[in-house]
Structures are given as structure tokens and as C-alpha cells.
Structure 1
Amino acid sequence: MSDQAFSWELFNKVPVIGIVRNVSLEDMIEILPAYQQAGLTTIEITMNTKGADEIIKYALQKFGGMLNVGAGTVCTKGDLEKALEAGAQFIVTPVIRKKIIRSCVKKEIPIFPGAFTPSEIYEAWSLGASMVKVFPAATLGADYIKDVKAPLNQVKLLPTGGIGLDNIESFKKAGADGFGVGSPLLNKDLIKDKNWVGLQEHFKKFVEKVRVGS
């Protein structure tokens, strides 16, 4: 586990978690180098993606040490076991599942559970979440992050859902500690057209907007 542990240093360089859902391993073989070369550092494969465990294994085999590779949409103990067996370095859930959070904390695996209200956010943090995924974030906008951060400034927040190039900077200014980005980052049209050069350029735009120090 030690040589394949989650790297906060890598994550903090460009605190974006690209969310991969329903993308084939064949396409991921092309996407991963473009992703890494664009400067992105952390990627999440959702467990409801066909062959998710194979994609996680492949990503770690080829990009271990260069990318943090984790599993998302982890809703059951079975999902968690399958993800960890594949080598997932961090776990993301859409909801608060106490058993899953506690299990990850015990194993020292970073866990980013999904929450929405201040009470849920604080509960997830109290259970030992490394960061709390605020989902769906765009529904309430960047000011919501700012408002939650006022009393809960110690809680690390990862807004996810509806975050794209047009609003990611406003979430950064509001105090977000990271960003979960799905289809606005993993552009379906570019993937469908197998336009890997275009996709890499698209990735770079996100890197430019959130790179720490920018």
C-alpha cells in the first residue's frame, strides 16, 4: 500500500477530481495520458461504470505515483471491498454511509462522503471524512460554500455536481478545498469523436483555472 498511497501533495497541486462514469477501458487508455500530461493529478472511477475495477487497476499500473486513482459512487460494503481490492487510493460516496466512512478511516484511506446540509456536512466530518463532497453543489451555488465555511471553517469541502469552467473560479474564491468535476471535464463529445488532442487542451483549461497559486 505504501508506494501506492494517496498523495495530498499531488492533489493539492491541482485540486480537481475528474469523475469518470460510463467510459470504456479502451477510451481510458487514451484519456489517462492526456489527463496526466495536461497537469491533472487525481481521477475517480465510479463503481457503477462497467469494468470499473479493471480501469482502476490499469490506471494505477500505468500512472501510479503520477495520478491519484480512486473509486466513486461507493454505496455498499461490497463496492468498497471491490474498489480497495482493485487498489483504489481514495473513496468517494454520494451519501453518508457510516460503516463505509469508519472502515476507510480505520484503513487510513482518504474518504470523501457526499453531504448537502450543514448538519450532514458536519456529521461526515465528525465521522472522520478527509474532505466532504458537497453534492449537488451548483444547485445552491458558490455562496453556499462560503456560508457553510463561515461557522465550519475547519471542514474541508469538495463541491461536486454542476461545476464547470464558467463557475469553478467562483467556488475557489468561496473557499472550496477541491472540486469534483464529471461531464464538464470528461467531455462526452470529444471522447465520442476520439479527439484526444482536443480533450487534452480542454483539460488544460481546468488546470489553468484552479492551479494553486494562480
Structure 2
Amino acid sequence: MIKVYSEEEILHKMNLTGMIPVFSHGDISVCKSVLDICYESGIRVFEFTNRQSNALDIFSELVEYSDQYKDLVLGVGTIFEPSVASKFINAGARFIISPALIPELADVAFQNKITWIPGCATVSEVYNATKLGAKLIKAFPGNLLGATFVKAVKSVIPEVKIMPTGGVEPTEKNLKTWFDAGVHCVGMGSQLFKKECLDSHEYQNLKNDIISVLTIINSLRN
């Protein structure tokens, strides 16, 4: 059964942990193991990215598998086309994330009462996204924009919530830079989910890394 949460609840969950896993893999057994250790580590919002040829099939299985985790919210990232967004929404995605600002995705999301998180790289894009109804902005690519971009945007649109993705590192120094700038949360992918750990199924090491990141974020906020 697909779990339904309001946009406010999803954004609250994102802010509560401060870190959203950004993950993709073509092996369902790996995906299930990663989902397990993320949940055990304290993650409650999980982004599966649409980067594999079988991504929709994998995501559909993950939605069903995640039914055991009643308070976990699954969404999909790397979405560009409205038709693709609709397929993932029908499969159970509770939010859609795009690397770009695509108004047509906003229409699909709002028609389905789904949270829409567009990627923005300029103040104009952020402003237009908020006018289209986005409650959270993905600052992408984060490694090029940097925390100074977040500060600049919030200096003129202080109420906007921003999540940088791309280039966010699992270190206290890097995370401090982002959270000092006022981010709502951060998205973390390859910097956290190292290929060698996945290939060797070193899930305990990955779990330790996730817990470390969440601990750092919590300490920075306190």
C-alpha cells in the first residue's frame, strides 16, 4: 500500500534528518540492501534516481518492498519528461525531482498532488520555480554553484528552502559550509555510496558512513 504524506510532512522529514540519499542501481538486491541500511541509519526520505534502463521496474519493486517501513517516503529523481514522471507517480513516487526547471513537470506533480522539486542554478530560476509552486529548490550542480549561491539566493528570497545536490561531501567541513549557508537539507549520492562498497557488498561500512553524516549534521545544527 502506497503511503500518502502531505507536502509539509515530506519537507519536514527531509529537514529532520538533513540528508537525502540519492541512489541508483540496476540490481534490485543491492537496492533493497541499501534501502534497509538507510532506514536502519535513520533515513526517512529516499530518492531513487532514474538513471538505469530498468529504473522504473526497480523502483516499483522498492515501493512494494518498503511497505515494511511505514514512515519511509520514496521519490524519484533525474526526471525530465512529464510522461516519465507520470509512470513513476503511478508506481508510487511521492515526490519527483528534476535537475532542471521544467514547468510541465509542475503541472503533472500538482495534478497528482505530488511534491515537485526542480533544479535551479540562477536566482531567476529559483524565483520562477517558487511562482510555479515549488516549496523546495534543488541547487544543482552543487559543486559548481557552491554555498555562496545559497547565501545569495536567500538574501533576496529568504523564505525559499534549498537542497544542494552534486558535490556535497560527507565531511564536517563541507557540510558546515552548506548548513551555515542555510540549506533545508542536502542530497548526497556518489560521495556517500561508493562503488567499491556496493560492489563488495560492504553494507555495514556504508551504514557507518550514513550514521556519521547524520551525526555531523545534527551536531552542526545544535
TM-score, structure 2 normalization: 0.89
1:37 matched to which residue of 2? Answer: 40
Distance 2:165 2:50 in 1: 17
Deviation at 1:88, TM superposition (A): 0.4
Query: Does the CA contact (< 8 Å) of 1:133 and 1:159 recur in 2?
Result: yes
Distance across 2 between alignment mates of 1:23 and 1:136: 24
Q: Are residue 136 (structure 1) and residue 141 (structure 2) matched?
A: yes
- The aligned residue for residue 104 of structure 2 is 99
Match of 2:18 in 1: 15
Aligned residue pair count = 214
Q: Deviation per CA, 1:13-71: give whole Å up to 9, x if none.
A: 21322111334212112111111001112111112223222332333323343321101
For the Cα contact (< 8 Å) 1:36–1:66, is it kept in 2?
no
Distance in 2 between the 1:106 and 1:81 partners?
Answer: 10
Distance of 2:194 and 2:42 partners within structure 1: 17
CA contact (8 A) 1:15 1:42 kept: no
Structure 2 runs not aligned, ≥5 long? none
For 1:56 and 1:135, locate their aligned partners in 2 and report how far apart those are by CA, in whole Å.
23
Is 1:198 aligned to residue 205 of structure 2? Answer: yes
**Structure 2 residue 34 is the aligned partner of structure 1 residue 27:** no
1:86 aligned onto 2:110? no
Supply the distance in 1 between the matched residues of 2:103 and 2:64 (Cα, whole angstroms).
30
**Is 2:113 the counterpart of 1:108?**
yes
CA distance in 2, matches of 1:68, 1:102: 21
**Closer, same or farther in 2 for the Cα pair 1:56/1:5, shift >3 Å?**
farther
What is the identity, as a one-letter code, of the residue corresponding to 2:143?
A
Q: Distance in 1 between matches of 2:53 and 2:215?
A: 31
Describe the superposition over 1:74-114 as per-residue Cα deviations: whole angstroms up to 9, x where unpaired: 11122111111110010000111111112212322111100
More helix by share: 2
Deviation at 1:12, TM superposition (A): 2.5
Alignment of 1:52-63 (within 5 A): 52-63=55-66
Which deviates further from its counterpart, 6-15 or 175-184? 6-15
Q: CA distance change for structure 1 residues 200 and 26 in 2, over 3 Å: closer, same or farther? A: same
TM-score (norm 1): 0.92
Post-superposition shift, 1:2?
A: 7.5
Q: State which drifts further: 49-58 or 152-161.
A: 49-58
Q: Which amino acid aligns with 2:184?
A: D
Over aligned residues, Cα RMSD in angstroms? Answer: 1.9
Kept after mapping to 2: 8 A contact 1:46/1:71: yes
In structure 2, what is the equivalent of residue 148 of structure 1? Answer: 153
Name which of 47, 65, 77 aligns with 2:82.
Answer: 77
How many Å apart are 1:207 and its aligned residue?
1.0
Worse overlay, 108-117 or 50-59: 50-59
Does the Cα contact within 8 Å between 1:102 and 1:128 map onto a contact in 2? no
User: Are residues 58 and 4 of structure 1, via their aligned partners in 2, closer, same or farther at CA, if it must alter by over 3 Å?
Assistant: farther
- Residue segments in structure 1 that go unaligned for 5+ positions in a row: none
Deviation at 1:115, TM superposition (A): 0.8
Q: State percent identity of aligned pairs.
A: 26
Q: CA separation in 2, counterparts of 1:27 and 1:21?
A: 10
